[in-house]
Structure 1
Amino acid sequence: MYQLAPNIELLFTEAGDYHDRVRAAAAAGFSSVEMWGPTGVDAPSTPKDLPALKAALEETGTTLEAQLAEPRTQFMIPPWDHSEFFRKLDEGVEIARELGTPRIVVGSGTGFGGWKRQVQLDKLIEIYQKAIAQIDGSGVTLVLEPVNVRVDHPGSLLDRTSEAVYVARGVDSPSFGVLYDIYHSAVEGEDMRAELAGAGDLIRYVQLADAPGRGEPGAGSIDWVERLGWLRASGYDGPIGLEYYPTIESAASVRHIVEVAARA
């Protein structure tokens, strides 16, 4: 059975603040959760009471599977000074270690204006090699997320799983991998089986939402029995983040995917 991790930015919001959402998720049977940025630097993230969040995680025995890098990964903004990204990376790793979070999610932003695509991908490799060297020994893994440009993230550089895999192969570190988001991949029209086969063991985290609409599983047209079967066949057995916008109450919205995951 897959370990499912509700996103506490979007799910169990009925419970109140983030630490209360952890308790609500645990009461609903989950032993893992995920979130966006810990300090709320980037909207729509909001600041977390980190001591209260840590207390709730420890009290319930819940693992925080992933958090986002802050500031939101954006490298092309003049004067192309990446020092804030690297400075905040240290802060993010410190928070991750305090909360017991094994992964920080990073991206490409809109890339580097005016450069050929291949050059931009190689520049990402250079940046993330430096980032991995900086956090060496921390025990935290960086996972690179390609996102769809058709609906949610127009203008983003990295929208193809294969290109995220290319960057990860270039970084060449056990502390760097790919976040495969089933929703983003579906919106881009990718062949999930082919993408997973091409990625091999570089998939270090998975997220999902239904498509179209980015709602709870069952609200769109994705066959989740089929998709989780493909995921299992690929060899991935790690956690899956539930990063969707529920159209119904949280506990009810997770029911279908919990049932499917129990059989996957």
Structure 2
Amino acid sequence: MRLSPNIELLFGEAGPDLGDRIRAASKAGFGAVELWSLRDLESVERAVEETGVQVTAALVEYPPKTSFTFPGTDHTAYFEMVDRAVENARRIGCPRLVLASGLGFPGASRQRNLDILAEVFATVVSRTAGSGIGFALEPVNTRVDHPGALLDRTADAVRVARAVGSDRFGILYDLYHSLTEGEDQATELANAGGLVHYVQIADVPGRGEPGSGDVDWALQLGVLRAAGYTGPIGLEYYPTVDSAESVRHIKEVER
């Protein structure tokens, strides 16, 4: 499995510049990284060209607070933000952008909220046709990290992705968020089928590096393999030790 450290959280020892963090990740033996914000683009672009490291994922919006206007009103500003993110992703060779659900629409049922998300994201896919950029919708936990977020269930993100109905649109399955919500990984992955376009991991509890919490990583990675996922795995955790050392456990288990 291709490990992709999040350079907003890892390799901070190299300094604040994302390009320098990419170089540090490359020196540590990684051929891929992920990031949150599409900032330091010139530096990231140069580092990618120098090292050959691929940026596997970035957020459309950082921080991921996405709050659409009310249904039936003008979503132009949101779509223009997505357009800019797509242009920036293409510039640094990033093949996918991560979407957030936001808090939902007040007064609307949960099902209606999911329908609205599907309508908005279907438009996103349509207006970015030919860009080569895919999208992954991320459900997050509301118990610890994102109280109030609309999408806190993997199954609901899958429902939205099925409604969008595009091979350029899937979900981001974050094992940390899923386990924090008390979900069963095998069940969620079986329900999602081929809609899992990206995976991220962190240990539970604490959101630290693999090995710092209670997750049985040999078991969980085995479930992921059995589900047929072969894409990159984003290391989106808060390291409690040096960045290079923090990946030791997951590298050993991954073998």
TM-score interval, smaller chain? over 0.9
Runs of 4+ in 1 over 6 A off after TM superposition: none
1:199 equivalent in structure 2: 192
Please say if 1:53 is aligned against 2:44.
Answer: yes
1:120-157 Cα distance to aligned partner (Å, 9 max, x none): 00010100000000101100001000000000000000
The answer as to whether partners of 1:76 and 1:113 remain within 8 angstroms in 2 is no
Secondary structure of the corresponding residue to residue 92 of structure 1: helix
| 2:207 maps to amino acid | R
CA distance in 1, matches of 2:66, 2:4: 26
Superposed displacement of residue 83, structure 1 = 2.0
Match of 1:117 among 110, 114, 131: 110
> How many residues in Structure 1 have an aligned counterpart in Structure 2?
252
Superposed displacement of residue 74, structure 1 = 2.1
| 1:92 maps to amino acid | A
CA distance in 1, matches of 2:120, 2:65: 11
1:155 equivalent in structure 2: 148
Please say if 1:66 is aligned against 2:27.
Answer: no
Secondary structure of the corresponding residue to residue 163 of structure 1: helix
Structure 1: stretches of 5+ with no match in the other structure = 39-47
The answer as to whether partners of 2:20 and 2:47 remain within 8 angstroms in 1 is yes
The answer as to whether partners of 1:22 and 1:62 remain within 8 angstroms in 2 is yes
TM-score norm. by structure 2 comes to 0.96
Superposed displacement of residue 219, structure 1 = 0.6
| 2:12 maps to amino acid | T
| 1:74 maps to amino acid | T
CA distance in 2, matches of 1:201, 1:240: 16
The answer as to whether partners of 2:35 and 2:57 remain within 8 angstroms in 1 is yes
Match of 2:181 among 182, 188, 195: 188
CA distance in 2, matches of 1:145, 1:49: 24
1:42 equivalent in structure 2: none
CA distance in 2, matches of 1:230, 1:160: 19
Secondary structure of the corresponding residue to residue 213 of structure 1: coil
Secondary structure of the corresponding residue to residue 179 of structure 1: strand
1:41 equivalent in structure 2: none
Aligned-residue Cα RMSD (Å) equals 1.3
The answer as to whether partners of 2:139 and 2:151 remain within 8 angstroms in 1 is yes
Mapping 1:169-180, distance limit 5 Å: 169-180=162-173
Distance 1:114 1:76, change over 3 A: farther
Superposed displacement of residue 78, structure 1 = 6.3
Superposed displacement of residue 30, structure 1 = 0.4
The answer as to whether partners of 1:73 and 1:106 remain within 8 angstroms in 2 is no
The answer as to whether partners of 1:206 and 1:239 remain within 8 angstroms in 2 is yes
